[in-house]
């Protein structure tokens, strides 16, 4: 199976991505743990070290570390309690949104937030909806689900309406990334934040890169075959990571969409296996 940009049209790519995520939806969360050896959990969220009551959903190790959700500090509004509206695009099974809710409620004691989890794939959303039923009722009332293509968000997501737009391990699957970035810019308020967590390049560390490439190109499709009986989908995931632009090239695309970035515009995690990119709508 090869899904090179050069050989498939946008709508073909969209169909194939739809097929991949429909077939992995049920096994998606388990596979994430297998394939990343659990490290994706640390990239997404490690709760702060300050005392936190146990919660029913997350059991992550409590190390203090830079990571996606706490670096966004959802719920930290000035003044505290001012409503905050967020959109988690390609939110799939709810991994990021649930961590954002936990952070806002528990760490910032701010329940006055709303998160829309959107995804193009109804099967991934269905898994997210089902998982959300295990959340406390006060978290559930902060959530809504929306089937939507990130490249053409529906009119109900209004211009200049959001404080925070997140996309985690989703954007490399989009057929038209510049279109999705323009949509992100359109729906954010001035001052609103675009934040992306995505696999990236390990170019600065040749040894780590060699090990990582070997792991991803041989082990991941095999694990996909053994655990999920679906080699092709996991082969696609590995190839899509390989083709995604470098940290700098992706940062430049974010700037081209009209965002302001500070410093390099990105932060590497685990030597660049993943990276966080952020932009602010001026």
Residues near ligand SAM (CB under 6 A)? 17, 21, 89-92, 95-96, 119-121, 124, 149-151, 168-170, 173-174
Q: Shortest distance, CB of residue 36 to ligand SAM, whole angstroms?
A: 10
**Is the backbone peptide bond immediately before 112 cis, with ω within 30 degrees of 0?**
no
Our CB check for ligand SAM shows the closer of 47 and 91 to be 91
Q: Which residue is nearest to ligand SAM (CB)?
A: 92
Q: Shortest distance, CB of residue 258 to ligand SAM, whole angstroms?
A: 20
Give the separation between CA 29 and CA 119, rounded to whole angstroms: 16
Q: Do the beta carbons of residue 191 and residue 258 sit within 8 Å? A: no
Q: Shortest distance, CB of residue 207 to ligand SAM, whole angstroms?
A: 27
Our CB check for ligand SAM shows the closer of 112 and 176 to be 176
Q: Do the beta carbons of residue 52 and residue 106 sit within 8 Å? A: yes
Q: Shortest distance, CB of residue 79 to ligand SAM, whole angstroms?
A: 30
Our CB check for ligand SAM shows the closer of 16 and 281 to be 16
| Distance between start and end Cα atoms, the chain | 42
- Nearest alpha-carbon partner for 275 in 212, 203, 198: 198
Our CB check for ligand SAM shows the closer of 90 and 104 to be 90
Q: Do the beta carbons of residue 153 and residue 124 sit within 8 Å? A: no
């Amino acid at each position: 199976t090869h899904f090179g940009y050069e050989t498939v049209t946008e709508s073909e790519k969209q169909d194939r991505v739809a097929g991949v995520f429909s077939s992995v939806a049920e096994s998606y969360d388990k596979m994430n743990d297998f394939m990343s050896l659990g490290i994706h959990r640390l990239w997404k969220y490690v709760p702060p070290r300050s005392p936190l009551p146990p919660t029913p959903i997350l059991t992550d190790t409590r190390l203090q570390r830079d990571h996606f959700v706490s670096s966004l500090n959802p719920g930290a509004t000035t003044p505290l309690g001012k409503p905050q509206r967020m959109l988690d695009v390609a939110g799939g099974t709810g991994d990021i949104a649930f961590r954002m809710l936990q952070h806002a409620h528990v760490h910032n004691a701010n329940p006055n937030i709303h998160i829309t989890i959107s995804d193009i794939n109804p099967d991934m959303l269905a898994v997210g909806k089902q998982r959300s039923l295990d959340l406390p009722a006060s978290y559930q009332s902060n959530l809504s689900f929306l089937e939507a293509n990130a490249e053409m968000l529906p009119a109900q997501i209004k211009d200049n309406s959001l404080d925070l737009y997140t996309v985690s391990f989703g954007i490399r699957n989009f057929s038209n990334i510049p279109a999705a970035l323009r949509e992100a810019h359109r729906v954010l308020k001035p001052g609103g934040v675009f934040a992306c967590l995505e696999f990236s390049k390990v170019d600065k560390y040749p040894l780590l890169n060699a090990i990582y490439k070997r792991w991803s190109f041989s082990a991941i499709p095999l694990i996909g075959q053994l655990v999920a009986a679906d080699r092709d989908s996991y082969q696609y995931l590995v190839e899509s990571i390989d083709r995604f632009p470098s940290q700098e090239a992706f940062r430049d695309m974010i700037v081209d969409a009209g965002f302001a970035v500070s410093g390099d515009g990105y932060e590497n995690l685990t030597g660049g296996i993943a990276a966080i990119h952020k932009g602010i709508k001026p």
